[in-house]
Amino acid sequence: MSSSEGMDNLNEPKDVLNAMNSGTTARLFSGVLSGCPFFSVITGDDSLKRRPMERVTLPLREMGAKIYGRKNASFLPIAISGGNLKGIRYKLPVASAQVKSALLLAGLFADGETEIEETIKSRDHTERMLKHFGVKLDISGDKIKIKGGQRFSGREVVIPGDVSSASFFIAAGTIVENSEIVIKDVGLNETRTGFIRALLEMGGEIKIEDERIINEEKVGNIIVRSAKRLKGISISKEMVPALIDEIPLLALVACFAEGETIITGAEELKKKESDRLHTTLDGLKRLGADVEPLPDGMIIRGGKKLKGGEVESYGDHRIAMTFAIGGLAIEEGVYVNDFECVSVSFPEFLEKLEALKK
């Protein structure tokens, strides 16, 4: 349980704010702090310092925030002198829920109206959260408008299970023989469940039970059983935002399917904790998979039996967990180097995995 005294009670931080490995924290805090009339500095770990920030600092500067940092505030750490923002109209060049959310939060502090236009719909947790607190949004088609200076009230928030974390166990239940797994109280926001929809299209056996709405968000229990037969599918650019974090996992599952799985429009994976197009393909090749790189994705030719082996995590938590799941379905097992990196997002992962094996 945590609590907040509200946006009117934010004070200048006495020290540098460390987002550690969380790009969401760095970018959303950038939006909030841009609206606050004080000085602040945001940094992160070595991995986060390599990830791009200009996609959020550019529009925040356009709103009036003064932001300084390496290579014209393209990378952390950044220093922000906030306050006196004005509303803008901004079209997102790429689908990014983090940038959209940062601008919505900054828009709460701005004079006038802020309008954001999406090219492809991205995650909408922030919009739902703002509505839950009583903020008025005008959402029409691919445009979102928010007026600054709104008064809203604090409310209790119940946080459901993370569907991205649940996806590792959904994959395990799908590709490991004689499996049945029940995952309770998982957030099922449609902008986040592309992985489940993809597995169903491939022939996965997944059911949702006890669906309900909590804090504007759909929540339910996921029941997954071993798939009898999986087939390859195509993932297009329009589908990618709803499963961007699960693409390495989908590529692994595709190795156990008949036929080709083609993934395109996923160049955003190159800008994650690692270049996930490269690191996914590298790991799959080491395990004997028939895969081919594409400029913005990959082709996985399923049906070839994978062999055990040693793979690199590249310090990327999702890559490490993906190949740990692969190890459950490969007779010889898989050894993942630098597996400790999973602690940044799911420190109990190995414990949960061991419990499933029993």
Task: Give me the CATH number covering residue 31.
Answer: 3.65.10.10
The segments of the chain whose pLDDT lies below 70 read: 1-8, 358
Would you say residue 65 lies in a domain? yes
Nearest-angstrom CA–CA distance, 57 and 99: 9
- Give residue 44's pLDDT: 97
Please give the Cα distance from 167 to 44 (Å, whole number). 26
Angle, helix 54-63 to helix 97-109, in steps of 10 degrees:
20
Question: Given 147, 179, 211, which residue is the final one in a domain?
Answer: 147
Per-residue model confidence (pLDDT) at position 358: 66
Same domain? For 108 and 205 the reply is: no
Are 209 and 353 contained in the same domain?
A: yes
Q: Could you tell me whether strands 180-187 and 205-214 are parallel, antiparallel, or unpaired per DSSP bridges?
A: unpaired
Number of domains in the chain: 2
Cα-to-chain-centroid distance, residue 350: 20
Q: Convert the pLDDT of each residue in 10-23 to its tens digit.
A: 899 999 999 999 99
Distance, CA of 38 to CA of 336 (rounded, Å): 44
Same domain, 136 and 167: no
Domain end position, chosen among 84, 114, 147: 147
Q: Distance (Å, rounded) from C-alpha 32 to C-alpha 37?
A: 11
Q: Is residue 153 domain-resident?
A: no
- Would the pTM count as exceeding 0.85? yes
Whether 288 and 216 map to the same domain: the answer is yes
* Domain hosting residue 345, numbered range: 163-357
Give the integer Cα–Cα distance in Å for 237 and 300: 17
- Residues classed as catalytic: 245
Q: How many CB atoms lie within 10 A of CB 87?
A: 20
Same domain, 141 and 181: no
Evaluate whether residue 80 is within a structural domain.
Answer: yes
| Structural domain includes residue 2 | no
- Using CA atoms of 5, 9, 63, 82 in order, give the dihedral in degrees to the nearest 10: -140
Same domain, residue pair 214 and 279: yes
* CA dist., res. 68 & res. 118, Å (int): 26
pLDDT digits (tens, 9 = 90+) for 66-94: 999 999 999 999 999 999 999 999 999 98
Tokens of 95: 């689908």
Domain boundary among 93, 117, 147: 147
155, part of any domain: no
Note whether 78 and 57 are within 8 A (CB).
yes
pLDDT at 1: 41
